[in-house]
Structures are given as C-alpha cells and as structure tokens.
Amino acid sequence: MDFIYKKRNPVVLNTTITDIPGDKSISHRSIIIGSLANNKSSFHNFLFSEDCINTINIFRDLGVKIETNLEAGTIQTQGVGLYGLRPCNKTLYTGNSGTSIRLISGILAGQKFDSEITGDSSIEKRPMKRIVEPLSLMNAEIYGNESLDQKNIFPPLHIKGNNLIKGMTYTLPVASAQVKSAVLLAALYTRDDVNIIEPAKCRDHTELMLKYFGVNLFISNNKISCSGPRQLQNPSTKSIYIPSDISSAAFFIVLGCLLPDSRICIPKAGLNKTRSRILDILIEMNARITISNVCSNDLEMYGDIAVESSSLKNIRIREEDIPFIIDEIPVLAIAALFGKGKLKITGAKELRVKESDRIASIVHLVSASGGKIIEYEDGFEIEGGSELHDFECNSSGDHRIAMSAVIAAIAANVNAVVKNCSCINTSFPDFFDIVKKLTI
Ligand code: S3P
C-alpha cells in the first residue's frame, strides 16, 4: 500500500490523541510471560498489531489458551506453567517480529521437544548469532542458516529440546533488550545462577515483568542476576494496564513540535526511564513538552504528554543515549530537518540491522525530501533548515521509516508518495486513521 499526501492549507492541531496503541515490547512480553505463568493473567490496552498477533498465534500453537477481545483491547492468558507448553508440528511463524523470534527462542531452548521458528523475508535476514551464542553457552542447541563468511546465523532456527539448560555469566556484546531477554527467559529453565552484564542499559520490560511474576532478579548497575527456584505466578487477579507505546507516540510528538500553532496531548503513555529518553532529547532541542499525571501500576510508569509547536535546535546525541532511543531515531531525523544547526548521531551501528538498514533508509528519505544528510557507518549528521520539496520514497518495508516519511510530508506540507506502507500494520494499525483525523 502506498500513501499519497497532497499539499493543503497548513494543518493546525489542538487535539488529544487517545488511540495511541499499547506498547509493543510490553504486549509481546505480556503474552510470553502470561503463557508461562501458573495462573491466569489479564492485560488491557494490548497492541493488536501483526507482530503481537503472531506472538499470540505462536503460544496458541504451543498449546496455551489465550482469549482476545480486539474491540476492548484486552487479552487473557491461561498460563500453563514453565513446563506446560506442547510441541508444535509446524514451523512457528513470527512474521516481521525480531522481538518474537529472539525472545521465544530463549524459551524453546529450555523445552523437552524440538522446534522450528522463522518469520518473513526480512526476519530471514536478521542476525541471530547474537542469541545463538549466549544460549549455546547455556547448553542450548540451535541451528540456522550460516552466512557464507560464517560470521552470522539466520532463521529458520531449529531448536533442539531435551538439553539441560545451565547457568552462566555473560557480557552482552551489544546493548540489546532482545538478547538480554532471550537469556533471561532461558534462565527460567535452570536452577543455576545466570548473570548478565550489559555494556549499556537498555529497555528493561522483561526484568520488570519477571520480577512482578515472582522471579528472583537482582539488578545492580549493569548486572542482572537470576537465582533461586523459578516459578511464574501472577500476584493479582486485576487486569494489568499496558501503557501506550512511547515509540508510536513519538511520531505525533514530533509532529506536534513541527506544526505551527499546535498542541497535541497523548494520555497514559509509557514513561519507563529506559524508553522515555526521546522526551529528554526533544526537550534539550527546545521542544515544548510537558508531562503530567505520572503514575505506575507496580510494573511500568506512565503519564500524559503534551506537546506544543516548538522552534527546535539540533544537538549532538550522546552515544550512551542511543540504546534508549533506538526506535525513535528515524522520527528524530525528521525533527532534525526542521531544527537549527546540526544533529549528529554516532555509535548507532545497530540501526543497520533493524527491520531495514535504518541508516540507509533515513539517508534515502532525507535526501529524497531535500534535506541535507551525511551518512556514517554508525550514524549520520543532518543539517536542519533546508526547504523541503515534494518527494517520493520507499519505506523498504520498515514500519518506522514509513511513518517517519508520512510525518515529514505533513510537517513540510509537500506532495509526497510513500511507497510500501503496509508494514505499518506490524506496530501501529491505527496510524492512518489518526493521520486522517488530524489532517482533514
Ligand atoms: C525490543 C528491543 C529493541 C528494539 C525493538 C524492540 C524489545 O531491539 O529496537 O524494536 O522489545 O526488546 P534490540 O534488542 O535489537 O535493540
């Protein structure tokens, strides 16, 4: 599906967007951890996007009863306990979701049965050595397609069952929540101590949810230790609220900064400290953002975000902030096109192995629309303030590139064709409904 934007009278907004969907990372974890618990769990504001639906389908394939109500945005998992999953005689399918394939592989490594897991053509190009290596150190046996230079492994992954998972101390080579979570989930299948050392802190939703479900996790600075007997038990019969996804909200937060005379409010958005750095960075760039009604549900923090038209100034992004804003960098690049001065990002090589090579995709989008960008191996530099012109670009099948291009077209108010937008359904199925409401 292609998106066509026609230049129109300048859009001015004063609105509250109540339909930013639930957080994708937390939605995946709610199914995964809920399925492995000994009892029932209910969640609301669940993200019914393609990625999360694939995770639901996988656990159903593994024998878990999961009830969903799309209208109400709720799910209920009837947990089967750590050892209650059933073998599945077909290949488990994660679609476009790197989070699903990496996290679920950690669980499959601890089962008594063999499994095979794969995804779409983009997933078949995503590097898996990053999980195969640590899981193998825990005695897991995982085979995939080796690259010609043998430096990496790609799905489909064949995961052998019946291997006794053992403990280890592992230093993550990259700050990746997916890798950390794969190890933490495999750690549920041993009584040995498992220690993970993070090179830099990254999103901690798995740790928060495992702790909430009763796992002994000790976290100090960059070390996470799991010890003691493993059991997952939801401590409450109350439905757990999944905050709205800050990564999805970021598209409209940036739009709110860029449109003249506008004010956008986004209620109950996730404010977990490992995810909300994008707000700090935009504020440092002079964005007029206010946060109110901050609260927590024992698991995650959330609150209301209001953003008003702002004159942005570009800054140098600190490398230690990169893991905290990894998913917001494409839309930050759009903000930078309108900022004064240069925005420079380095130390972000991970962007090369996301749903697309996001550095190349950002360079393509910025150049197509008339912005100035220099590409680095591990980042880019954008000089803001160029007059943007009509453009056509291709999302490369990457949802966050597609949505960033749409935001660029609306903010610059130029004619634009964004090709290949169906991928937005992987994370934000209501994106175009919101865009339509805002731009009419
Ligand atoms: C995610 C972790 C991040 C992020 C992805 C979701 C998660 O990936 O980019 O969108 O839910 O754990 P990495 O672990 O590869 O950094």
Per-residue model confidence as pLDDT tens digits over 361-408: 999 999 999 999 999 999 999 999 999 999 999 999 999 999 999 999
Q: Percentage of residues in the chain with pLDDT exceeding 70?
A: 100
Sheet strands (E) in 82-230: 92-93, 115-118, 142-146, 153-159, 168-171, 194-197, 217-220, 223-226
Q: What pLDDT is stored for residue 10 in this prediction?
A: 73
Residue 440 pLDDT more than 80? no
Q: Best mutation site among 123, 178, 275, 356 for ligand 1, i.e. most ligand atoms within 8 A of its Cβ?
A: 178
Q: What pLDDT is stored for residue 181 in this prediction?
A: 98
Read off the pLDDT of residues 38-93 as tens digits, 9 standing for 90 and up.
999 999 999 999 999 999 999 999 999 999 999 999 999 999 999 999 999 999 99
CB 289 within 8 A of CB 305: yes
Q: What pLDDT is stored for residue 172 in this prediction?
A: 97
Q: Is the pTM of this model over 0.85?
A: yes
* Closest listed residue to residue 265, CA positions, set 281, 252, 283: 252
Phi then psi dihedrals of residue 248, to 5 deg: -80, -40
* Closest listed residue to residue 378, CA positions, set 350, 400, 356: 350
Distance CA 382, CA 377 (A): 14
Whole-number average pLDDT of the chain:
97
The structure tokens 């209501």 sit at 430
* Closest listed residue to residue 377, CA positions, set 345, 343, 333: 345
Ligand 1 is surrounded, with C-beta below 6 A, by 25, 99, 176-178, 181, 203, 326-327, 350
Nearest residue (by CA) to ligand 1, atom 15, is 176
Domains assigned to the chain: 3-21+244-439 (3.65.10.10), 24-226 (3.65.10.10)
Decide: residue 225, CB within 10 A, 0-12 exposed, 13-18 middle, 19+ buried. Answer: middle
Distance CA 25, CA 6 (A): 34
> Looking at ligand 1, which atom is closest to the CA of residue 179?
14
Distance CA 183, CA 303 (A): 31
Instruction: Tell how far CA 112 is from the center of its chain.
Output: 30
> Looking at ligand 1, which atom is closest to the CA of residue 353?
15
Distance CA 357, CA 355 (A): 7
Read off the pLDDT of residues 226-282 as tens digits, 9 standing for 90 and up.
998 899 999 999 999 999 999 999 999 999 999 999 999 999 999 999 999 999 999
**C-alpha 346 to ligand 1 mean position (Å):** 18
Q: What pLDDT is stored for residue 363 in this prediction?
A: 98
The structure tokens 């859009």 sit at 11
Q: What pLDDT is stored for residue 31 in this prediction?
A: 98
**C-alpha 179 to ligand 1 mean position (Å):** 9
For 330-348, b where at least 16 C-beta lie within 10 A, e where not — what string? bbbbbbbbbbebbbbbbbb
Distance CA 107, CA 231 (A): 14
CB 247 within 8 A of CB 271: no
Q: Best mutation site among 47, 326, 329, 398 for ligand 1, i.e. most ligand atoms within 8 A of its Cβ?
A: 326
Nearest residue (by CA) to ligand 1, atom 4, is 327
Read off the pLDDT of residues 332-372 as tens digits, 9 standing for 90 and up.
999 999 999 999 999 999 999 999 999 999 999 999 999 99
CB 181 within 8 A of CB 274: no
**C-alpha 28 to ligand 1 mean position (Å):** 11
The DSSP element (H or E) to which 103 belongs, if any, is helix 98-108
Residue type, 360: A
Where does residue 286 fall: left (phi above 0), alpha (psi -120 to 50 degrees), or beta otherwise? left
Distance CA 18, CA 193 (A): 43
- pLDDT-based confidence at residue 12 (cuts at 50, 70, 90): confident
* Closest listed residue to residue 244, CA positions, set 202, 323, 291, 302: 302
Cα Rg of the chain (Å, integer): 21
Q: Best mutation site among 25, 31, 208 for ligand 1, i.e. most ligand atoms within 8 A of its Cβ?
A: 25
CB 3 within 8 A of CB 406: yes
> Looking at ligand 1, which atom is closest to the CA of residue 247?
10
Read off the pLDDT of residues 184-225 as tens digits, 9 standing for 90 and up.
999 999 999 999 999 999 999 999 999 999 999 999 989 999
- Count the neighbouring beta carbons within 10 Å of the beta carbon of residue 4: 11
Rounded to an integer, the average pLDDT of 148-165 is 94
Q: What pLDDT is stored for residue 11 in this prediction?
A: 78
Q: What pLDDT is stored for residue 229 in this prediction?
A: 83
Instruction: Tell how far CA 314 is from the center of its chain.
Output: 25
* Closest listed residue to residue 108, CA positions, set 59, 152, 41, 154: 59
Decide: residue 429, CB within 10 A, 0-12 exposed, 13-18 middle, 19+ buried. Answer: middle
**C-alpha 310 to ligand 1 mean position (Å):** 29
Distance CA 56, CA 30 (A): 10
**C-alpha 94 to ligand 1 mean position (Å):** 15
Nearest residue (by CA) to ligand 1, atom 11, is 25
The reply to whether 357 belongs to the active site is no
**Of the listed 192, 327, 357, 390, which one is catalytic?**
327
Q: What pLDDT is stored for residue 439 in this prediction?
A: 86
- Count the neighbouring beta carbons within 10 Å of the beta carbon of residue 146: 12
CB 50 within 8 A of CB 5: no
**C-alpha 25 to ligand 1 mean position (Å):** 8
> Looking at ligand 1, which atom is closest to the CA of residue 178?
14
Phi then psi dihedrals of residue 263, to 5 deg: -145, 125
Nearest residue (by CA) to ligand 1, atom 10, is 327
Nearest residue (by CA) to ligand 1, atom 13, is 176
**C-alpha 209 to ligand 1 mean position (Å):** 16
Read off the pLDDT of residues 84-143 as tens digits, 9 standing for 90 and up.
999 999 999 999 999 999 999 999 999 999 999 999 999 999 999 999 999 999 999 999
**C-alpha 323 to ligand 1 mean position (Å):** 9
Q: Best mutation site among 26, 99, 129, 246 for ligand 1, i.e. most ligand atoms within 8 A of its Cβ?
A: 99
Nearest residue (by CA) to ligand 1, atom 16, is 176
